[in-house]
Chain A
Amino acid sequence: MESFPPSPTSAKATLLRHFPKEIREAYARSGATNDPAAIDTVVLGVLLDHVPDKARLAGLTLDDSVALIADLGLDSIALAQIVFFFEDLFEISISNAEIMGVRTVGDMRAFVRRKLADLSTAPPV
């Protein structure tokens, strides 16, 4: 018998369920230690997941200079979805104005690291 809809699950717990094991493990580490390397791994994993044409990645070294739109082929909708993904994943809030300046892989890495650092140093409310 088919069951509609399937049992509900926690959205945050399942966000990375389709990602490779190393990304999920890095995410677990990033939460426990705020480890910049682990955060970088998650950021790159999420970016790569949103690349529409994986063939574009062939021969591309994902250094900080790689452009999100021109090199990876992301469109504005994909960028918005990436932002929402990070918001849900890291429980941060990102405004449109903040994300406007993010154009490269390096920008994105630095941006997420900064947001998480701000979060950890924010005074309790």
Chain B
Amino acid sequence: MRRSAVITGLGFITSIGNDRTEVLHSLRTLRGGLAPVEFFGNPALPVKVAGTIKGFSVESPSWRDWRYPERYQLSREQLRSLAPHGVYAVCAVEQALADAGLKADGLGDGATGLYCASAGSAFLLHHHIRQMHAVRGARGDPMGLVASIAGTLNFNLAAFYRIRGAVGGFAAACASSSHALGCALDDIRLGRQERMLVVGAEDVNAETVLPFAALHALSTNSDPAVASRPFDRRRDGFVASGGAVCLVLEDEETARRRQAPVYAALAGWGQAADGYSVAISHPEGAGLGAAMRRALADAGLAPGQIDYVNAHATSTPAGDRSEALALRSVFAAAGARPRISSTKGLTGHTLSMAGVMEAAFCSLALRERFIPGNANLVEPDEACADLDLPRAALDIAPGIVLNNSSGFGGSNVCHVLHRYPQ
């Protein structure tokens, strides 16, 4: 019989809160995490809002300047090989381990693995490359590579926590941590691992954010209260964010044996690519629709059994439209009408970490018995006809939920989670 997997721990460093309690409050009350920013001290730049991380100061390339909440203890040996988002990640992992009732020194048994997702730190990589140019290649910081390239999260976290199981990183842009979570589920189902830490994290700085402005993907709305408005007619792009989320996924029997608290079960996942464009979603959401169907089939469910969908919708005109059409093709065509919301109206778009962050939000919704709402949605796009898009959070307990993610190259990944009897 195939093994089942359950979610037993969550950790959050996000624009809407730096722990589970804060995040839950933000989701229930639609308290957003966006704030004014000025990149490169240049007020002429059209991008004026980001999903900032509060309580941390990691703007310097030198870890000696960094500040983070006192409750976290990071040694010099940890800090010297971390990127800014690595600091967020360590804090999120510490929270998730405590939440799951796990000890950091108990992860080295080979039964625990680690899958991560981040784009690396363009900021820190630029700093080190600039230094290398300055000395004409003569030398460089020995930690420069492992602190800044994609993979920095798994390099560091695997070493810090002495993890000896499966370790790797995923690079599918904004679907990356969804791939990480899906592959973690497979490893548990196949009996390869008993437990997986899934971590997504991103810097929030000019080097990570502004390249998306070159793609005309970012909102130029200067009002943090309304700049991110998924599915709304007046949306004009996404608001970038970052932070870190850690989710602990465990074999159900392992969790039961140690009497771990369970948020939800991860019942299935599916992925499908668009095969269409390097940077733009398929106009009818063909790949995302296929990914949703595959996730439902993997979980053995029909569209009508889904109570809530956490949409990928980032607030871009083209992306939200294609997702709306994909949702209609899967649900309306089957006579189903689940509640649908994008929590990015509150958080902004956290890029690689979006998938695992929103799976964690779904886990909270299942255990705490509510459905997140659509912040800043005033007038839905005409492509959203027939979709049920609640404005406020609903005090309705969902039983089964679907979590969507999409990334560059047309990668689409969906997870199915269901409520777990407490």
Q: Which of A's residues lie within 8 Å of B, judged by CB?
A: 1-7, 17-18, 50, 52, 75, 77, 80-81, 84, 87, 93
**Assuming A4-B205, A4-B206, is B38 touching A77 (CB within 8 A)?**
no
Residue pair B37, A4 in contact (C-beta under 8 Å): yes
B238 at the A/B interface (Cβ < 8 Å)?
Answer: no
The answer for the CA separation of A51 and B142 in the assembled complex, in Å, is 17
Residue pair B38, A3 in contact (C-beta under 8 Å): yes
Residue pair A77, B143 in contact (C-beta under 8 Å): yes
Taking CB as reference atom, which chain A residue is nearest B37?
Answer: A2
Q: Which chain A residues border B64 with CB–CB below 8 Å?
A: 17-18
Residue pair A84, B139 in contact (C-beta under 8 Å): yes
The answer for the CA separation of A81 and B139 in the assembled complex, in Å, is 11
B213 at the A/B interface (Cβ < 8 Å)?
Answer: no
Residue pair A5, B76 in contact (C-beta under 8 Å): no
- Taking CB atoms and an 8 Å cut-off, the chain B residues in 71-122 that contact chain A are 75-77, 80
Q: Which chain A residues border B142 with CB–CB below 8 Å?
A: 77, 80-81
B41 at the A/B interface (Cβ < 8 Å)?
Answer: yes
Residue pair B77, A52 in contact (C-beta under 8 Å): yes
14 examples of A-B residue contacts, CB within 8 angstroms: A1-B35, A2-B38, A3-B41, A4-B39, A4-B205, A5-B123, A5-B206, A6-B59, A18-B64, A77-B80, A80-B142, A81-B141, A81-B142, A84-B139
* Most B-side CB within 10 Å, residue of A2, A3, A87: A2
B60 at the A/B interface (Cβ < 8 Å)?
Answer: yes
Shortest B45–chain A CB gap in Å is: 11
Residue pair B40, A52 in contact (C-beta under 8 Å): no
Other-chain contact of A5, B75, B77, B80, B205 (Cβ < 8 Å):
B205
- Taking CB atoms and an 8 Å cut-off, the chain B residues in 356-396 that contact chain A are none
Q: Which chain A residues border B143 with CB–CB below 8 Å?
A: 77, 81
B52 at the A/B interface (Cβ < 8 Å)?
Answer: yes
* Most B-side CB within 10 Å, residue of A4, A7, A75, A84: A4
B275 at the A/B interface (Cβ < 8 Å)?
Answer: no
**Assuming A18-B64, A81-B80, is B59 touching A4 (CB within 8 A)?**
yes
B36 at the A/B interface (Cβ < 8 Å)?
Answer: yes
The answer for the CA separation of A1 and B38 in the assembled complex, in Å, is 7
Shortest B213–chain A CB gap in Å is: 13
Taking CB as reference atom, which chain B residue is nearest A81?
Answer: B142
Shortest B130–chain A CB gap in Å is: 11
The answer for the CA separation of A52 and B142 in the assembled complex, in Å, is 16
Residue pair B52, A2 in contact (C-beta under 8 Å): yes
The answer for the CA separation of A4 and B51 in the assembled complex, in Å, is 13
Residue pair B41, A7 in contact (C-beta under 8 Å): yes
The answer for the CA separation of A77 and B159 in the assembled complex, in Å, is 15
* Most B-side CB within 10 Å, residue of A5, A80, A81: A5
- What does the 1/0 interface line of B29-52 toward A look like (CB < 8 Å)? 000000111111100000000101
Residue pair B35, A5 in contact (C-beta under 8 Å): no
Q: Which chain A residues border B206 with CB–CB below 8 Å?
A: 4-5
Taking CB as reference atom, which chain B residue is nearest A80?
Answer: B142
- What does the 1/0 interface line of B58-72 toward A look like (CB < 8 Å)? 011000110000000
Shortest B87–chain A CB gap in Å is: 16
Q: Which chain B residues border A3 with CB–CB below 8 Å?
A: 37-38, 41
Taking CB as reference atom, which chain A residue is nearest B203?
Answer: A4
Q: Which chain A residues border B76 with CB–CB below 8 Å?
A: 50, 52
**Assuming A81-B141, A84-B139, is B37 touching A1 (CB within 8 A)?**
yes
- What does the 1/0 interface line of B296-324 toward A look like (CB < 8 Å)? 00000000000000000000000000000
Residue pair A6, B60 in contact (C-beta under 8 Å): yes
The answer for the CA separation of A5 and B121 in the assembled complex, in Å, is 14
Q: Which chain A residues border B141 with CB–CB below 8 Å?
A: 81, 84
The answer for the CA separation of A81 and B41 in the assembled complex, in Å, is 31
Top-8 shortest CB links A-B: A1-B36, A80-B142, A4-B206, A4-B205, A18-B64, A2-B37, A77-B142, A52-B77
Shortest B207–chain A CB gap in Å is: 8
Q: Which chain B residues border A80 with CB–CB below 8 Å?
A: 142
The answer for the CA separation of A3 and B57 in the assembled complex, in Å, is 11
